Structure 1
Amino acid sequence: MDDPPANAPGSLVEPVPDAPAAVADLGDETGLLVADYHAGIEVGLRYERGIELDSAADERRERVCDLLARTDADRLVVLGDLGHRIGGAGDAEVAEVDALASAVGVPVTLALGNHDAGLADALGDRLTVTPPGGARLGDVGIVHGHTWPDPGVLAARVVCMGHEHPTVRLADAVGGGRTERAWLRGPLDRDAFADAVGLEGVDWRDPELVVFPAFNDRSGGSRINVEGRRFLAPFLPEGLASGEAYLFDGTRLGDYRRV
């Protein structure tokens, strides 16, 4: 049976058309899922690369609030890297995340990412934070992707992750091209997890993996259709032996390895 397209009706996780976000059936709640929000990124870019940009914190927050209103979701789930600074949350991250948590009007769950150190300590009363290996919300597993997922996450029907910031380079007929953020979806390969995670006692149900595009369009991306591409997650590409790439509008690009 073919994998369902990225916007297939009835899927537990359905991307919101033309947005780097998805709606997920979490059992007793509907979740709005986003990945790689990177609050405070403008301060990071200034110190890391000498790039001066006005803060887009208000615009990012408004986009999330608009998506919550559009989808009528009960919970905001961030698949890691809610903050940007590695090694500890700075003032810019804390202020932006605090404003976001105040504005959304729904509970916020964070699947802890490699950029999120200190956020739980600074804003623990505003966020529900998972361990680094993720957690399950109903039949949906959530994990950032910088570490191996906990075994319980792999018992979900769908596993959602960020971390990779997938993009595709699209060429036109005259030799030009553009780069766009993309989704990756496909079945998880059990063999890729057996030794590293230990699957004894795990109710393996051939889960689907959904790799989310970065919500923050200033955070860069990793092109999946260039020779010698490298993945960041320790279980990729082996854990996604087959899968397809999709654009935000639902365009199906085919096998992600051959786009």
Structure 2
Amino acid sequence: MVERAPADGRRRGRDRPLVEPVPDAPAAVAALGDERGLLLADYHAGIEAGLRYERGVELDSAGDERRERVLDLLTRTDADRLVVLGDLGHRIGGAGDAETAELDALLSAVGVPVTLALGNHDPGLAEAFGDRVDVTPAGGARLGDVGVLHGHTWPAPEVLGADVVCMGHEHVAVRLADAVGGGRAEKAWLRGPLARDAFVDDVDLAGVDWRDPELVVFPAFNDRSGGTWVNVDGQGFLSPFLPDALESGEAYLLDGTRLGDYRRV
């Protein structure tokens, strides 16, 4: 049984939501101190060139469409800053020509400051675009009361001291069965309390003011980057702290439909 619910990032005891998904989009708005941020994950600029090289798959570039989607979301949300939760680029080890051209067009068009939580596909982007993008360390950073990171490494202690922790990396999807026994994959959000015990052996928590943060795992913004079906056996998580850090997470579709415990969808 599915249920529509306002998965808006509201913390218990708070009057305002810190992180609120944009309806029907793999993106969210967030209160980042004095700024209103548009958050998205796994943009993967230039992915078509990567797929051609990696798998021999020939696809026309959707770079213009990706850029227009971001610009539309910035307008709709009236955001002051764009925050990408890792993998802004696609080619590991340095931007290729197609990736560089797509990123140059994107960064020239957005019209707001851009923060990149460094992802595993982003090496070289700081050198190529560091004058136009604020790049965090691999462990992420804290923007106001919101911690941001990609999720491919252990988070920095300051990230765990936030009220809400936002990450990408997993390209979250769920497999849903239809009435005739078939199935389809749908992008999804994962949300739930962040379990402190998952970090005690690998992160120095001595100076962390633990606030019982919520973890929000973003779906991929890129429609061609695939995904991990989190409710299918054998589809393990990529992050070193999942699933241990999300013991009681729930899955939500992009339209806000609450699916319940992601492991039992």
Q: TM class by shorter-chain length?
A: over 0.9
1:131 maps to 2:137: yes
- Name the SS for the 1:22 alignment partner: strand
**Structure 1, residues 128-183: CA drift from partner, whole Å, max 9, x if none?**
00000000000000000000000000000000000000100110121122111100
Matches of 1:231 and 1:13 in 2, distance apart? 23
1:41: how far off? 0.2
1:114 maps to 2:120: yes
**Structure 1, residues 85-136: CA drift from partner, whole Å, max 9, x if none?**
0111112222111111110100000000000010110111110000000000
Corresponding residue for 2:67? Answer: 61
Matches of 2:17 and 2:240 in 1, distance apart? 26
Corresponding residue for 2:200? Answer: 194
Amino acid at match of 1:84: H
1:52 pairs, out of 58, 66, 73, with 58
The answer on whether the counterparts of 1:94 and 1:123 sit within 8 Å (CA) in structure 2 is no
- Name the SS for the 1:144 alignment partner: coil
Matches of 1:117 and 1:231 in 2, distance apart? 22
TM superposition outliers: structure 1 runs of 4+ over 6 Å: none
1:15 pairs, out of 21, 26, 29, with 21
Identity %: 81
1:15: how far off? 0.3
Amino acid at match of 1:157: D
Amino acid at match of 1:7: D
Corresponding residue for 1:230? Answer: 236
- Name the SS for the 2:39 alignment partner: strand
Corresponding residue for 2:46? Answer: 40
Matches of 1:247 and 1:190 in 2, distance apart? 26
Aligned residues: 256
Amino acid at match of 1:99: A
Matches of 2:58 and 2:235 in 1, distance apart? 29
> Which blocks of at least 5 consecutive residues in structure 2 are unaligned?
11-15
Matches of 1:221 and 1:28 in 2, distance apart? 33
Matches of 1:76 and 1:191 in 2, distance apart? 31
- Name the SS for the 1:43 alignment partner: helix
Corresponding residue for 1:28? Answer: 34
The answer on whether the counterparts of 1:79 and 1:110 sit within 8 Å (CA) in structure 2 is yes
> TM-score with structure 2 length normalisation?
0.95
**Structure 1, residues 51-105: CA drift from partner, whole Å, max 9, x if none?**
1000000000000000000000000000000000011111222211111111010
1:12: how far off? 0.4
Amino acid at match of 2:173: T
The answer on whether the counterparts of 1:112 and 1:130 sit within 8 Å (CA) in structure 2 is yes
**Structure 1, residues 15-51: CA drift from partner, whole Å, max 9, x if none?**
0000000000001000000000000000000010111
Matches of 2:104 and 2:80 in 1, distance apart? 19
Matches of 1:8 and 1:78 in 2, distance apart? 18
Matches of 1:123 and 1:95 in 2, distance apart? 12
The answer on whether the counterparts of 2:82 and 2:113 sit within 8 Å (CA) in structure 1 is yes
The answer on whether the counterparts of 1:184 and 1:212 sit within 8 Å (CA) in structure 2 is yes
> TM-score with structure 1 length normalisation?
0.97
Amino acid at match of 2:239: A
**Structure 1, residues 208-238: CA drift from partner, whole Å, max 9, x if none?**
0000000001000000011133000000000
Matches of 2:9 and 2:247 in 1, distance apart? 21
